[in-house]
């Protein structure tokens, strides 16, 4: 099948590469010409395990190409995916300008029937706007072209996106046309070993499903983080509580790990957008606001623990940080807890040595340059270099190399043996037996 994917960011690139891997002819379109040039050279704008190999192999096989406009595609695709960004607007609502711009380009391009698939996370009702925008462009061209709009939200976890695409828990498809249904069923047939994983529904139902799924997961995280704060005050080990409730099949173990707050490109943005949708429809989003507020405070737990130990003036304190990305398996630092922590430390004149397995190039571009030029923030090349002569280690991201550290190496490197564990990766008794002063989340 001939497929076009508009947007070569995280969702678009994974979607395009995976469909090419399944034998389709895929063209990814991105208006960022520099990005397209780099992609043609095999240079990816993101880190995702296995993606670079998949992209380069399918480029070599002639199944995956990159262009900067739809007009460059000579054979008109049967399916066009819209996979552009939907960032938060100033008021927290999802910004649809890139989605509607893509729709306008589609209307100016198509000449024959095709299925337009919204892969971007969009508020309920945006599919209607996409339809109207495409139709308006066709009307300008005085063309009568049939097309169908489909909502097919993505459920890709950063760090496991290829696995999630190829072995999905479910595939949600919102549509109104039997013709589009047949095409989408054929498209996903190679990865659907169990047809019951394919859920057809209305377009609006599919649009809403994506937001509710992310908001539910964010709610579990914030609820458990709040319980961790309570456990901390009451002398309860939240990890034992987590094990106890996670054994209940009605609750399960997923997304109940206490930590220093959620981040990334999805949960923060989608919770905000769902709050705006609720307010727009005269529903008071009490739970959603609480989820967002708890996450705001949770990102400030690690900074508070540091100032509780060392005071507000950190000028003579050297701090080691393990982890900068918002989660393991990605270089994505959007809304990461590390950003709040580093800002807090820089404001108090701390000296910081930070290490992350993959996010350091992103950090160099994202963080204020004066933090580096002042010498107060250094990004080091090796994990244990971050510990040299530090007064405290702060674990922010639970990358696997951090989870089972060399305690003897840590003791030799650190000036003071203090650990603040933002992801509850370490056994407090083991750390204290090894003569470390240990602080976790709710333990």
Catalytic residue IDs: 266
* Measured distance CA(284)–CA(234) in Å, rounded: 32
Phi, psi of 28 (to 5 degrees): -95, 130
Burial class (CB in 10 A: 0-12, 13-18, 19+), 135: middle
* Measured distance CA(113)–CA(78) in Å, rounded: 7
Q: 291 with 222: CB under 8 angstroms?
A: yes
**Nearest residue to 208 (alpha-carbon basis) of 288, 105, 289, 278:** 278
3-state helix, strand, coil in the chain (%, to 5): 45, 15, 40
Give 29's DSSP letter.
E
- Computed on alpha carbons and rounded to an integer, the radius of gyration of the chain in Å comes to 24
**Nearest residue to 3 (alpha-carbon basis) of 12, 130, 11:** 12
DSSP, residue by residue, 5-21: EE--SHHHHHHHHHHHH
**Nearest residue to 61 (alpha-carbon basis) of 23, 27, 7:** 23
**Nearest residue to 274 (alpha-carbon basis) of 288, 259, 287:** 288
Phi, psi of 347 (to 5 degrees): -65, -25
Phi, psi of 175 (to 5 degrees): -160, 175
Instruction: Give the three-state DSSP class for 348.
Output: coil
CB half-sphere exposure, 143, CA atoms < 13 A = 16
Q: 417 with 411: CB under 8 angstroms?
A: yes
């Amino acid at each position: 099948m001939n497929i076009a994917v508009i947007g070569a960011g995280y969702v678009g690139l994974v979607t395009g590469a995976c469909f090419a891997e399944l034998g389709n002819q895929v063209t990814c379109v991105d208006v960022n010409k520099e990005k397209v040039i780099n992609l043609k050279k095999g240079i990816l704008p993101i880190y995702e395990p296995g993606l670079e190999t998949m992209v380069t192999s399918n480029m070599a096989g002639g199944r995956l190409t990159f262009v900067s406009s739809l007009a460059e595609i000579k054979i008109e695709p049967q399916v066009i995916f819209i996979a552009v960004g939907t960032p938060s607007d100033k008021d927290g609502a999802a910004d649809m300008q890139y989605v509607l711009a893509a729709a306008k380009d589609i209307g100016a391009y198509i000449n024959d029937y095709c299925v337009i698939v919204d892969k971007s996370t969009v508020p309920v009702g945006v599919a209607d706007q996409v339809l109207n925008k495409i139709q308006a462009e066709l009307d300008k061209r005085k063309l009568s072209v049939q097309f169908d709009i489909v909502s097919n939200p993505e459920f890709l976890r950063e760090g496991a996106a290829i696995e999630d695409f190829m072995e999905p828990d479910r595939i949600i498809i919102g549509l109104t046309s039997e013709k589009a249904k047949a095409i989408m069923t054929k498209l996903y047939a190679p990865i659907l070993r169990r047809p019951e994983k394919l859920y057809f529904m209305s377009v609006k139902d599919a649009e809403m499903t994506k937001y509710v799924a992310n908001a539910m997961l964010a709610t579990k995280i914030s609820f458990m983080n709040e319980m961790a704060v309570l456990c901390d005050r009451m002398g309860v080990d939240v990890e034992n509580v987590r094990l106890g409730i996670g054994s209940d099949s009605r609750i399960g173990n997923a997304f109940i790990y206490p930590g220093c707050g959620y981040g990334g490109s999805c949960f923060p943005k989608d919770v905000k957008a769902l709050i705006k949708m609720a307010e727009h429809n005269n529903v008071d989003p009490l739970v959603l606001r609480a989820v967002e507020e708890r996450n705001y405070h949770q990102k400030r737990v690690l900074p508070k623990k540091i100032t509780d130990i060392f005071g507000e003036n950190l000028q003579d304190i050297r701090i080691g940080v393990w982890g900068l990305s918002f989660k393991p398996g990605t270089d994505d630092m959007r809304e990461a807890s590390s950003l709040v922590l580093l800002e807090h430390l820089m404001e108090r004149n701390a000296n910081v040595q930070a290490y992350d397995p993959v996010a350091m190039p992103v950090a160099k571009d994202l963080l204020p340059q004066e933090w580096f030029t002042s010498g107060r923030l250094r990004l080091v090349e090796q994990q244990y270099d971050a510990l040299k002569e530090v007064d405290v280690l702060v674990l922010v991201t639970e990358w696997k190399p951090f989870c089972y550290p060399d305690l003897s190496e840590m003791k030799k490197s650190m000036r003071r043996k203090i650990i603040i564990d933002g992801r509850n990766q370490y056994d407090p008794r083991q750390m204290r037996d090894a003569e470390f002063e240990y602080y976790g989340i709710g333990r």
